[in-house]
Structure 1
Amino acid sequence: MVRIGYTMMTEQAGPRELVGHVVGAERAGFDFSVISDHSFPWLEAQGHAPYAWSVLGAAAQATSRIPLMTYVTCPTFRYHPAVIAQKAATMQLLSQGRFRLGLGSGENLNEHIVGAGWPAAHVRLDMLEEAVGIIRALFTGRYVSHHGTHFDVENAKLWDRPDDPPLIGIAVSGDRSCEIAGRYGDLLIATEPKQELLTAFGEYGGSGKPRIGQLPVCYDPDRDAAVARAHDQFRWALGGWKVNAELPGPAAFAQASQRTRPEDVADSIPCGDDVDAFVDAVRPYAEAGFTEIALIQIGGGQQECFLDWSEAKLLPALGEL
């Protein structure tokens, strides 16, 4: 049975609102929750970028059942991998075992703020692989020193460490990232229902491991209003990740998506209140072999009505998958 998750989208709501949203998601019956980790929104219309790890700590205390996960954190630029290991271990303790650590190679949009430059994709993936090794070593509880190609760690140790460390998910978009996920990850993370990603993940050692997908939706009883909101706040997503990982800020995303029409967005994102349309958008992920699918409700001010509708109509319909 496919598990359905809820996304705390930090780009479109403030920290207190996000905690309230995940409390509502738990009450509505969502199976898990994920959170984006950004220093910028994709477009200025979204208007937010609170610190995801503080939100996660508050969410762990405000909820009791729903699993929490980063989707995703980049452990190579803004954060050193040793710092990520400490954050993740603390979150696993705070949530009493409900936390999973989702990692990825990052986007220029968020990582540029530390002024370390933005290397080519293959370098970023090499950095990710090295970072995952450091994090896993620290999860063992021993002292760790590491002097590698990209990172140095000197006599580090996690003093507050859960007996069961968080599972590590790796975001994938091509063969090299699938290799890293299959070899070093406990689960796969993707934003497109591409069968070839799951196949490669399995061939590199990921067979039988969870596979988590994510897709945006825009619920509103007024479909025209939903389409307009999705276009205003989410047209950037149609650019694809090879482009989206490279652009440096909201102005660049606005320029890159200036020719994207509302009807283009509506063709890619289910909008309105037709349950069947939402189920049809989720179905390709289930058919590709994803075991978990996280939904993003577009619009920070529309979460409560989406959660109520999900509890009453959408989640029971998705249960048929």
Structure 2
Amino acid sequence: MTRFGFHASHEQIAPAQLLADVRRAEQAGFEMAMCSDHFSPWSRRQGHAAYAWSWLGAALATTDLTFGVVTAPGQRYHPAVLAQKIATLGSMFPGRFWAALGSGEASNEHITGERWPRKEVRTRRLEECVDVIRRLLAGEEVSHDGRVTVDRARLWEVPDPPPRLIGPAVSLASAARVAAWADGMVTVNQAPEKLADHVAAYRDAGGRGPLALQVHLSWAPTEAEAAATAHEQWRTNVFPEPVCWDTETAEGFDVVGERVTVEQVRTVVDISADLGWHRDRLAAYAAAGFDEVYLHHVGQSQERFLDTFGEHVLPQLKEA
């Protein structure tokens, strides 16, 4: 049966408020949570980007939810350091934490001053990092010379069980490729029939483990407010590759997003004042084959969304 969780957006909400939000989400009936690991937001209007790993320790300690994080080894984070972070949370909260390992985005990684590699190089670097991290989580001493260098690294806190390493995939090609190493896949909302193709691409390539979906949505009591919130907060997130990968600053995203319309935002955000419409849309995502669906209301205020969906949407989805 599909479970429904809350996406905690560090790019949009200050960490203390976001911690209160995730506690409220648990009280409202959300069963799990996930977050993103950003050094920079997608827009100056979003205005936040706290360190996800400190926040995750507090969130895991003060709720009973399971948590995941989408992060990127290889440039901002050395894979051995990232493995230590994953292992620490896995040791403290066994079975309650997973990490999705992606190839990264320039907006977060350019801060090191290193050259931003082209996509195929980033993908190969990621796969080397995944191998390093998995071996470290298994208790091995690891040395590696390749696109990343590791010298006799060993974790002194080895989690049991090891946290799942999830493959983020937006395209069909990436869904098939991450199947070689991932303990599950996570992607983002699009038409349910296209999502079914993602599921098939992952499974047909031998992909194992649960499938997770992050759903960007905007709800308000009126259609006009829901649309205005989505346009104000999420219009810099409509761009496909390579813009989303290669733009380096929030100011750069704001420039390319200046002329984005509400109708364009609707292609990436489910916008409606109709709770029944949202319920049916979420049910269709679940029917496409997803075990976990994480709801991301793209507004900066979460209380009204959490309470309303907790009372009127989640119960019906669970009954279905």
TM-score between both structures, scaled by the size of structure 1:
0.93
Verify the 8 A CA contact 2:94 2:160 in the aligned structure 1.
no
* CA 126–45 in structure 1, closer or farther in 2 if over 3 Å, else same: same
Aligned counterpart for 2:158 among listed residues 156, 161, 175: 161
Verify the 8 A CA contact 1:270 1:277 in the aligned structure 2.
no
Q: Distance in 2 between matches of 1:37 and 1:99?
A: 14
Verify the 8 A CA contact 1:129 1:180 in the aligned structure 2.
no
Q: Distance in 2 between matches of 1:96 and 1:283?
A: 30
Q: What residue is the counterpart of 1:108 in the other structure?
A: 106
Q: Residue type of the partner of 2:221?
A: P
Q: Give the gaps of 5 or more residues in structure 2.
A: none
Verify the 8 A CA contact 1:6 1:33 in the aligned structure 2.
yes
**Cα offsets for 1:148-192 (capped at 9, x unmatched):** x21111111111122201011011133553344211110001114
The residue matched to 1:245 in structure 2 has which SS?
A: helix
Q: Residue type of the partner of 1:259?
A: R
Q: Residue type of the partner of 2:206?
A: G
Q: What residue is the counterpart of 2:303 in the other structure?
A: 304
**Cα offsets for 1:52-111 (capped at 9, x unmatched):** 001101111111x210000x1001111011111100011112323200111111111111
Q: Distance in 1 between matches of 2:28 and 2:94?
A: 21
Q: How does 1:204-215 map to 2 (within 5 A)?
A: 204-207=205-208, 209-215=209-215
Of the structure 1 ranges 250-259 and 305-314, higher mean CA displacement relative to structure 2 is found in 250-259
Q: Residue type of the partner of 1:9?
A: S
Q: How does 1:33-44 map to 2 (within 5 A)?
A: 33-44=33-44
Verify the 8 A CA contact 2:94 2:161 in the aligned structure 1.
no
Q: Distance in 2 between matches of 1:224 and 1:7?
A: 23
Verify the 8 A CA contact 2:189 2:268 in the aligned structure 1.
no
Aligned length, in residue pairs: 316
Q: Residue type of the partner of 1:167?
A: R
Q: Distance in 2 between matches of 1:278 and 1:91?
A: 33
Verify the 8 A CA contact 1:275 1:317 in the aligned structure 2.
no
Q: What residue is the counterpart of 1:141 in the other structure?
A: 139
Q: Give the gaps of 5 or more residues in structure 1.
A: none
Q: What residue is the counterpart of 1:84 in the other structure?
A: 82
% same residue:
38
Q: Extract structure 1 runs of 4+ deviating beyond 3 A.
A: 270-273
Q: Distance in 2 between matches of 1:61 and 1:284?
A: 33
Q: What residue is the counterpart of 1:52 in the other structure?
A: 52
The residue matched to 1:224 in structure 2 has which SS?
A: helix
Q: Distance in 1 between matches of 2:249 and 2:15?
A: 21
Q: What residue is the counterpart of 2:180 in the other structure?
A: 183
Q: Distance in 1 between matches of 2:311 and 2:157?
A: 41
Of the structure 1 ranges 308-317 and 217-226, higher mean CA displacement relative to structure 2 is found in 217-226
Verify the 8 A CA contact 2:91 2:160 in the aligned structure 1.
no
**Cα offsets for 1:271-307 (capped at 9, x unmatched):** 354112212432442232122111111122x211111
Q: How does 1:1-321 map to 2 (within 5 A)?
A: 1-63=1-63, 65-70=64-69, 72-147=70-145, 149-193=146-190, 194-207=195-208, 209-266=209-266, 268-300=268-300, 302-321=301-320
